[in-house]
Structure 1
Amino acid sequence: MSSLRILADENIPALEACFGGSGEVRTLPGRSIRKADLLDVDVLLVRSVTRVDADLLAGTPVRWVGTATIGTDHLDTHFLEQHGIAWASAPGCNAEAVADYVLAVMALAAIERGQALTDGSVGIVGFGNVGSRVHRRLQALGIETHVTDPPLAEQGVSGLTGLDEVLACDRIALHAPLIRDGRWPTEHLLDAVRVQALRPDQVLISAGRGAVVDNAALRERLEAGGPWTALDVWEGEPLVDPQLARNVRVATPHIAGYSVEGKLRGTVMLAQALNRWQGVDSHPALEALVPGPAKLEALPATLEEALLAAYDPRRDSRQLRETVAGSRAERASAFDRLRKEYPVRREFGFHRLQGSGDPVVNRQLEAAGFTLVY
Structure 2
Amino acid sequence: MKIYIDENVPYGKDFFESFGEIITFSGRNVTPEQVKDADILLVRSITKVDQTLLSLNENIKFVGTATIGTDHIDLDYLTKRNIAFSSAPGCNKISVGEYVLSALLVLAESKQFELINKTVAIVGAGNTGSAVYQCLTGLGVRCKLYDPPLQASGDSREFCNFSEVLQSDIISLHVPKTMKGPFKTFHLFDETVLQQLSPQQILVNACRGEVIDNQALLKLAREHKTPTLVLDVWENEPNIEKALLPFVALATPHIAGYSLDGRVRGTEMLYQALSKHLKNEAILNSTDFMVKAKISQTDIQSPLTSELLKSLVHLIYDVRRDDALFRSKVNQINGFDQMRKNYPERRELSTLSLNFTDPTHQNSQTINLNKIGFTVKNK
Inter-partner Cα distance in structure 2 for 1:119 and 1:366: 21
- In the other structure, the counterpart of 1:370 is 374
Q: 1:297 Cα deviation (Å)?
A: 6.0
Deviation string for 1:201-234 (max 9, x for gaps)?
Answer: 1111100000001111112222222211110000
Map 1:1-374 → 2, pairs under 5 A: 4-60=1-57, 61-158=59-156, 159-225=158-224, 226-293=226-293, 294-295=295-296, 301-325=307-331, 330=333, 333-355=334-356, 357=358, 358-360=361-363, 363-374=367-378
SS in 1 for 2:376: strand
Q: 1:298 Cα deviation (Å)?
A: 7.0
Instruction: Please say if residues 323 and 334 of structure 1, whose CA atoms lie closer than 8 Å, have aligned partners that are also in contact.
Output: yes
Question: What TM-score comes out, normalization by structure 2 length?
Answer: 0.92
Deviation string for 1:315-361 (max 9, x for gaps)?
Answer: 211121223445xxx2xx11000000001100111112233653345
Q: 1:283 Cα deviation (Å)?
A: 3.8
Inter-partner Cα distance in structure 2 for 1:143 and 1:285: 35
> Which runs of 5 or more structure 2 residues have no equivalent in the other structure?
none
Instruction: Please say if residues 264 and 286 of structure 2, whose CA atoms lie closer than 8 Å, have aligned partners that are also in contact.
Output: yes
SS in 1 for 2:371: helix
Instruction: Please say if residues 117 and 304 of structure 1, whose CA atoms lie closer than 8 Å, have aligned partners that are also in contact.
Output: no
Inter-partner Cα distance in structure 2 for 1:188 and 1:29: 29
> Which runs of 5 or more structure 1 residues have no equivalent in the other structure?
none
Inter-partner Cα distance in structure 2 for 1:356 and 1:137: 24
Q: 1:290 Cα deviation (Å)?
A: 2.2
Structure 2 letter corresponding to 1:89: S
Structure 2 letter corresponding to 1:24: E
Inter-partner Cα distance in structure 2 for 1:193 and 1:111: 31
Inter-partner Cα distance in structure 2 for 1:342 and 1:229: 22
Question: What TM-score comes out, normalization by structure 1 length?
Answer: 0.93
Inter-partner Cα distance in structure 2 for 1:82 and 1:132: 33
Inter-partner Cα distance in structure 1 for 2:242 and 2:357: 43
Q: 1:366 Cα deviation (Å)?
A: 2.9
- Answer with 293-302 or 268-277: which moved more: 293-302
Inter-partner Cα distance in structure 1 for 2:95 and 2:316: 11
Inter-partner Cα distance in structure 2 for 1:162 and 1:78: 32
Question: When the two structures are aligned, how many residues end up with a matched partner?
Answer: 366
Structure 1 letter corresponding to 2:314: L
- Answer with 300-309 or 172-181: which moved more: 300-309
Deviation string for 1:64-100 (max 9, x for gaps)?
Answer: 1010000000000000001111111001111100101
Instruction: Please say if residues 330 and 336 of structure 2, whose CA atoms lie closer than 8 Å, have aligned partners that are also in contact.
Output: no
Inter-partner Cα distance in structure 1 for 2:72 and 2:4: 17
Inter-partner Cα distance in structure 1 for 2:185 and 2:95: 23
Inter-partner Cα distance in structure 1 for 2:43 and 2:330: 26
SS in 2 for 1:336: helix
Inter-partner Cα distance in structure 2 for 1:145 and 1:316: 26
Inter-partner Cα distance in structure 1 for 2:322 and 2:26: 22
SS in 1 for 2:23: strand
Instruction: Please say if residues 148 and 160 of structure 1, whose CA atoms lie closer than 8 Å, have aligned partners that are also in contact.
Output: yes
